[in-house]
Chain A
Amino acid sequence: AQSVTQLDSHVSVSEGTPVLLRCNYSSSYSPSLFWYVQHPNKGLQLLLKYTSAATLVKGINGFEAEFKKSETSFHLTKPSAHMSDAAEYFCVVSPRGGSYIPTFGRGTSLIVHP
């Protein structure tokens, strides 16, 4: 069994301030972890992925995430928010065994104020 919990449904930041979107997961198998972003009326776009290489993963647009096995977390961060970062963000866990079916978190809406 697996699950993903995005701890905040909404996060509000000012432009130029740091972003932290939190994700906790559980998985019976060693997982691959992903962050996707969805802008309004668009499909999802991959930001970054963890597949058991380096625990600190760098993605596009200045985002990065750190895999912490002991805390079963995969939080997404960015040093300085930009207005164009306003979107819905999804944390995804894909088990490397069993059904291989990915599970999506409920999403975190990032609001960026000027």
Chain B
Amino acid sequence: KAGVTQTPRYLIKTRGQQVTLSCSPISGHRSVSWYQQTPGQGLQFLFEYFSETQRNKGNFPGRFSGRQFSNSRSEMNVSTLELGDSALYLCASSLAGAGLYNEQFFGPGTRLTVL
């Protein structure tokens, strides 16, 4: 079974631009969660989508948004990029959800650098 894939793996943008990251979950997984990983803040939960609906949301500004398609693939968008958005963005999929007994399967991440 193929694992979680994320594209692109690396991205360089400038302040003020916007960016879209993509995540394809493991086949059969309906939940996709996104995380931001930085040296200063560690791993922080962004949001979770399940069956095309945002089910949980972390404490991030509205510049961070996402969506999920009917095939469970998910995209994450960050508008008006700031230097502090430089991070490794991880996507994880699970059968039913980010919490409640379920383990998550993580992709390799997208390394975003904002100049």
| Residue positions of A touching B, CB distance < 8 A | 32, 34, 36, 41-46, 49, 51, 90, 94-96, 99-107
Number of B residues near A (Cβ < 8 Å) is: 24
Please determine whether B42 and A100 come into contact, CB atoms closer than 8 angstroms.
Answer: no
Query: Chain B's nearest CB lies how many Å from the CB of A34?
Result: 7
Please determine whether A43 and B43 come into contact, CB atoms closer than 8 angstroms.
Answer: no
Residues of A within 8 A of B92 (CB): 43-44
Q: Which listed residue, B98, B105, B106, touches A102 by the CB 8 Å rule?
A: B98
* Cβ-Cβ contact count across A and B, 8 Å cutoff: 61
Residues of B within 8 A of A105 (CB): 42
| Inter-chain pairs besides A51-B101, A102-B99, A104-B45, 4 sampled, C-beta below 8 Å | A43-B108, A44-B106, A100-B98, A102-B45
| Residue positions of B touching A, CB distance < 8 A | 4, 35, 42-45, 48, 56, 58, 90, 92, 97-109
* Chief secondary structure at chain B's binding surface: loop
Please determine whether B43 and A32 come into contact, CB atoms closer than 8 angstroms.
Answer: no
Q: Which listed residue, B4, B43, B99, B108, touches A104 by the CB 8 Å rule?
A: B43
